[in-house]
A and B are shown apart, each in its own frame.
Chain A
Amino acid sequence: MMHVSYNAPTELKRLQQRALPLGAVLFAILVVGFFLDRGQFFRSYLFAFSFWAGISVGSLALLMLQHLTGGGWGFVIRRVLEAATRTLPLMLLLFLPIIAGAHWLYPWTHAEEIAKSPALVEKARLYLNLQFFVVRAAIYFAIWLALAFFLNRWSILQDRTADPSFSKRMRVLSGPGFVLFVFTVTFASIDWFMSLDPEWSSTIYGFIFVASWALSALAFVIAALALLTKYDPLKTVVAPLHFHDLGKLLLALVMLWSYFAFSQFLIIWSGNLPEEIRWYLPRIKGAWGAIALAVVVLHFAFPFLFLLSRSLKRNPHKLVLVAGLILVMRLLDLLWMITPNFTGEHFHISWMEIVAPLGMGGLWLAFFGWQLSKRPLVAINDPQFESVLEQGHSHEAHSVV
């Protein structure tokens, strides 16, 4: 009991060894796309970035949430979340091409586009200009990186010193940190994604990203935990009870995302104003309409019904399938939100839209695996340690895992 190792399993190395070359090769292929079709390259790149940045930033939100609430479910995913937030420097690096490609992405970078609409002139002067865009992005990343830095730093210091006061510090930071998360993600989603159509606006757009980034992070963490639970040390720590709680939170976030996404639709559909409804019109026709329907059924209805069941939530093998489905549907939903800004009604998917998320994902996963293997998978000196371990052990005898 005293000398149990909580280090990450060696199997994690295999993930890194597979993800890194795959990601590197696909990313290299994507770079070829840069020379073939620059506009398409940046669109696909932004789409991939919107997904993987969401998992990094959403993990930061979940990390702060579990510091605020406590509980076994948060304790068992804490190191996974911390590793995911340590990918934020990588995301900062991956953000730079978006600044470089702003000219191909954002109509407000073109003086002649701005001149077409009088309303846009003021908007562009005060807010939508490249200098301010870069400054704002720097602020978002500075806030995220600072929060991630302190939460990670204090966590490892607690591992070393066994000082319980670090728990309080992390909790105290997480309260205002969570508020900052909501504000930064709101503004970041307006800057990076909503401004693709600078004359269209929706006040709930930022909240859709707040909910969906947290949702994709949670789905990713559940999948990662289900895989890690196959091996020591988490095998003896994680109990069906923890998957049950994570499944409940997943249901809550699925519903929260559905609530925001549907609210936007309901309000715009009710008003039916030309300058607002034109965002939906291309997205509910033809192939985009089919994708919208798929999102309603597979992103909301199916996960909702599935996650009502207690026994399915407690079974990691089945829960991981729902988490995987949600991740796929997150990608599809982001594609549906971003791509019609460029293509309109015309449905067109480039090979780059498939290669970009996979390539970036390979790099992200390799970086994540490397970070995860650097620390014990359990916060060994957390005050909750004993009680969570007890839960795991008392369930061990009859766990169906």
Chain B
Amino acid sequence: MSDEKRESFSETEPHEADELHLSVSRRHRTAPALYGIMGEFNNPSDLVAAARRTYEAGYRRINGYSPYPIEELSEAIGFTRTSLPLIVLIGGILGGLGGFFMQYWMEVVAYPLNVGGKPYNSWPAFIPITFECTVLVAAFAAVLGMLVLNKLPQPYHPVFNAPNFALATRDRFFLVIEANDPRFSHDETKQFLNTVGAKNVSDVEI
């Protein structure tokens, strides 16, 4: 219901992307390679609907950009499985085993100490540190795994060459079909993005 409001609001905005245009035109002198084609949407549901139709049309190298997370979007572009949970699980298991056997080694092998007449391998006493190590290594695995899977940090990305893309952190939604998609064909894909309701369909150069 607030779509009209949003649209009129953004039209009165100055084009923050002007600076980006300059840098793009400077690049034009060398032959530009194509990263993909980008379309713009005014609201998340149009983006999700378009992404769904794009996936159904057989495109696979597609990506969506929005100011905030849209749960359906990743599903719509066919991004349903990520190996991050597995990485975190492995991290947790390694952390737990490492934490436990670190204490086992200290208490039983390296420096056996009689505490209150209890056996050296007093496993209940090892549980808190085992648990902490599980959480610690799992959390490290989550953060580092996320960075590696996202190929971050990434100082340069072609999508920032697209006009208006700065608005992706504000109130605009974008869909990109990458040029390395097997079904990609410049004119046809451009036409296709227009038919799924995208505005300002434009080339994105590398």
Q: Point out residues on A near B: beta carbons under 8 Å.
A: 241, 262, 265-266, 269-270, 272, 308, 310, 394-395, 398
Contact = CB atoms under 8 A, between A and B. Distances in A.
Contacts of A266: 124-125, 127-128
Given A266-B124, A270-B125, A308-B85, 7 more contacts: A262-B127, A265-B124, A266-B125, A266-B127, A272-B116, A308-B89, A394-B72
Nearest to B85: A310
B71 A241 contact: yes
B136 to A, nearest CB: 16
10 contacts: A241-B71, A262-B127, A266-B124, A266-B128, A269-B124, A270-B116, A272-B118, A308-B89, A395-B72, A398-B75
B23 to A, nearest CB: 38
Contacts of B45: 394
Contacts of A269: 124
Contacts of A265: 124
A394 B124 CA distance: 48
Contacts, number: 20
A164 to B, nearest CB: 19
Interface in B38-92: 45, 71-72, 75, 85, 89
Secondary structure at chain B's binding surface: helix, strand, loop or mixed? helix
Interface in B76-130: 85, 89, 116, 118, 124-125, 127-128
Contacts of A270: 116, 124-125
A270 B116 CA distance: 8
Nearest to B116: A272
Nearest to B44: A394
Contacts of B116: 270, 272
A310 B86 CA distance: 11
Contacts of B72: 394-395
Contacts of A395: 72
Contacts of B127: 262, 266
A202 to B, nearest CB: 16
A325 to B, nearest CB: 21
Contacts of B71: 241
A391 to B, nearest CB: 9
A394 B85 CA distance: 25
Contacts of B125: 266, 270
Nearest to A263: B128
A310 B116 CA distance: 44
A118 to B, nearest CB: 28
B90 to A, nearest CB: 12
A262 B126 CA distance: 12
Contacts of A262: 127
A239 to B, nearest CB: 10
Q: Closest 5 A-B residue pairs measured CB to CB?
A: A266-B124, A269-B124, A394-B72, A272-B116, A270-B125
Contacts of B124: 265-266, 269-270
Nearest to A305: B89
A167 to B, nearest CB: 22
A266 B71 CA distance: 42
A387 B127 CA distance: 43
A398 to B, nearest CB: 7
B85 to A, nearest CB: 7
A267 to B, nearest CB: 10
A272 B118 CA distance: 10
B133 to A, nearest CB: 16
A179 to B, nearest CB: 27
Nearest to A271: B116
A322 B167 CA distance: 45
A272 B115 CA distance: 12
Nearest to A259: B131
A379 B127 CA distance: 44
Contacts of A398: 75
Contacts of B75: 398
A118 B85 CA distance: 57
Nearest to A391: B71
A398 B124 CA distance: 46
A258 to B, nearest CB: 10
Nearest to A266: B124
Contacts of A394: 45, 72
Nearest to A270: B125
Q: Which residue of A272, A310, A394 has the most chain B CB atoms within 10 A of its CB atom? A: A394
A266 B124 CA distance: 6
A394 B43 CA distance: 14
A12 to B, nearest CB: 31
A270 B127 CA distance: 13
A262 B89 CA distance: 23
Contacts of A310: 85
